[in-house]
């Protein structure tokens, strides 16, 4: 509540106490609001920052032990993420997400955006850096939420990992009805010059050309079943001559006894060096999680089937299938333990080195 002016406060204290409690008069709310508004102007000026803001702090880190075939074994402080959620006002929120990977060897600001929703709760406008609205794996990759230790191959080698972009996005949800519809559409800088060799390093903070990327997802949920399709397109080279296109389809089923998630992604990259002027990347995954215990503790089993072809021009050990099996134990809401074994099989003929993997993970969520 606004503080009273010191002179008014002194005057009130000087009044004699009545002999008996008088009947309270009917309050004129308009007059009270007017007086409080004038008194508020007498307060000391507020420095930079909204006095009505509320800041929520959240974060997690995960320690992973990996022992891979023909790979070095050891521990990795894979992620340490800090998220700041700011309730600026009734129609504006903000999020800032810092990420330290591999013990701090890589430091990034994954997200920093304003979420403005002035018209209705089902429509938001995001401005800043945010995750590209492509697919649904972006919503569940966080280690405290993810059922597995590793991420699907297609979201590491076709989609550039945590695909952050800088620009503007609109999100519309018709969440009060069944089925529930959602549409996300974004206009951003897009991917950069290294896309034809490494999608992950093609993420950029400032645009390297005159073009922009248009991306989005349209989805629907009916009871326990949901699905949608995603798209993204733009030019990645400095001369705006070479284009890229992404297309994705996702399906999810949430039941009491199990959950199923599946996604398929295809990408076309134009380059004069490729036969026909372009090449394709594609992949898919199907993941099933079965909770065995769901009371005070959660314990579940998971399996995932992956396939990826990161370059249609060549057939090598990177064209592969993978089958993952594992356990997930959540003894409390802040701690999660996982174990995963991944069997990898190259789909192309050749005497390729093995890539099988055993991994343990502990996650602290705060």
CATH number for the domain harbouring residue 179: 2.40.160.10
Q: Of 190, 186, 149, 157, which is closest to residue 324 (Cα–Cα)?
A: 149
Q: Is residue 74 included in any domain, yes or no?
A: no
Q: Is residue 69 included in any domain, yes or no?
A: no
Structural domain tally of the chain?
1
- What are 49-72's pLDDT values in tens digits? 455 667 899 999 999 999 999 888
Q: Note whether 134 and 154 are within 8 A (CB).
A: no
Residue 29 DSSP one-character state: H
Q: Is residue 5 included in any domain, yes or no?
A: no
User: Is this structure's pTM higher than 0.75?
Assistant: yes
Q: Of 76, 4, 31, which is closest to residue 360 (Cα–Cα)?
A: 76
Domain that holds residue 258: 80-296+308-320+347-355
- What are 238-271's pLDDT values in tens digits? 999 999 999 999 999 999 999 999 999 999 999 9
Distance, in Å, from the CA atom of 90 to the CA atom of 86, rounded to the nearest integer, reads 11
Q: What residues contact residue 71 under an 8 Å CB cut-off, 6+ apart?
A: 355, 357
Distance, in Å, from the CA atom of 366 to the CA atom of 363, rounded to the nearest integer, reads 10
Compute the chain's Rg from CA coordinates: 27
Q: Is residue 363 included in any domain, yes or no?
A: no
Distance, in Å, from the CA atom of 219 to the CA atom of 179, rounded to the nearest integer, reads 10
| Cβ atoms within 10 Å, residue 118 | 11
Q: Of 361, 309, 287, which is closest to residue 330 (Cα–Cα)?
A: 361
Confidence of residue 37 (pLDDT cuts 50, 70, 90): low
Supply the mean pLDDT for the chain: 87
Q: Is residue 172 included in any domain, yes or no?
A: yes
Question: Phi/psi class of residue 145: alpha, beta or left (left: φ > 0; alpha: ψ in -120 to 50)?
Answer: alpha
Distance, in Å, from the CA atom of 340 to the CA atom of 320, rounded to the nearest integer, reads 18
Give the residue carrying structure tokens 């070479």. 242
| Cβ atoms within 10 Å, residue 238 | 13
pLDDT at 88 over 70: yes
Q: Is residue 302 included in any domain, yes or no?
A: no
Q: Is residue 71 included in any domain, yes or no?
A: no
Q: Is residue 330 included in any domain, yes or no?
A: no
Determine the pLDDT at residue 127: 98
pLDDT at 1 over 60: no
Q: How far is CA 300 from CA 3, 116, 230, in A?
A: 54, 38, 30
């Amino acid at each position: 509540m606004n503080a009273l002016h010191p002179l008014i406060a002194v005057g009130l204290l000087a009044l004699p106490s009545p002999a008996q409690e008088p009947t309270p008069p009917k309050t004129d709310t308009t007059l009270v609001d007017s007086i409080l508004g004038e008194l508020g102007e007498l307060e000391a000026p507020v420095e930079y920052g909204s006095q009505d803001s509320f800041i929520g702090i959240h974060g997690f880190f995960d320690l992973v032990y990996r022992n891979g075939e023909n790979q070095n074994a050891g521990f990795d402080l894979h992620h340490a993420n800090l998220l700041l959620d700011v309730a600026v006002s009734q129609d504006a929120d903000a999020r800032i997400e810092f990420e330290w990977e591999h013990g701090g060897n890589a430091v990034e600001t994954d997200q920093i955006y304003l979420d403005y929703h002035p018209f209705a709760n089902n429509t938001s406008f995001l401005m800043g850096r945010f995750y590209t609205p492509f697919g649904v794996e972006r919503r569940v990759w966080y280690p405290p939420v993810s059922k597995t230790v590793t991420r699907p191959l297609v979201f590491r080698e076709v989609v550039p990992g945590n695909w952050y972009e800088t620009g503007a996005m609109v999100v519309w949800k018709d969440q009060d009805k069944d089925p529930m519809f959602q549409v996300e559409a974004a206009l951003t800088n897009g991917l950069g010059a290294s896309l034809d060799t490494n999608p992950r390093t093609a993420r950029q903070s400032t645009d390297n050309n005159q073009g922009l990327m248009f991306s989005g997802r349209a989805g629907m949920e009916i009871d326990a079943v949901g699905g949608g399709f995603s798209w993204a397109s733009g030019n990645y080279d400095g001369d705006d001559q070479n284009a890229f296109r992404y297309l994705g389809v996702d399906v999810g089923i949430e039941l009491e006894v199990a959950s199923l998630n599946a996604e398929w992604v295809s990408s076309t990259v134009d380059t004069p060096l490729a036969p026909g002027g372009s090449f394709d990347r594609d992949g898919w995954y199907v993941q099933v999680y079965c909770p065995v215990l769901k009371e005070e503790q959660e314990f579940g089993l998971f399996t995932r089937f992956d396939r990826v072809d990161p370059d249609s021009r060549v057939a090598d050990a990177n064209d592969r299938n993978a089958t993952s099996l594992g356990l997930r134990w959540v003894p409390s809401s802040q701690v999660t333990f996982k174990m995963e074994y991944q069997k990898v099989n190259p789909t192309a003929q050749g005497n390729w080195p093995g890539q099988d993997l055993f991994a343990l993970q502990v996650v602290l969520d705060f």
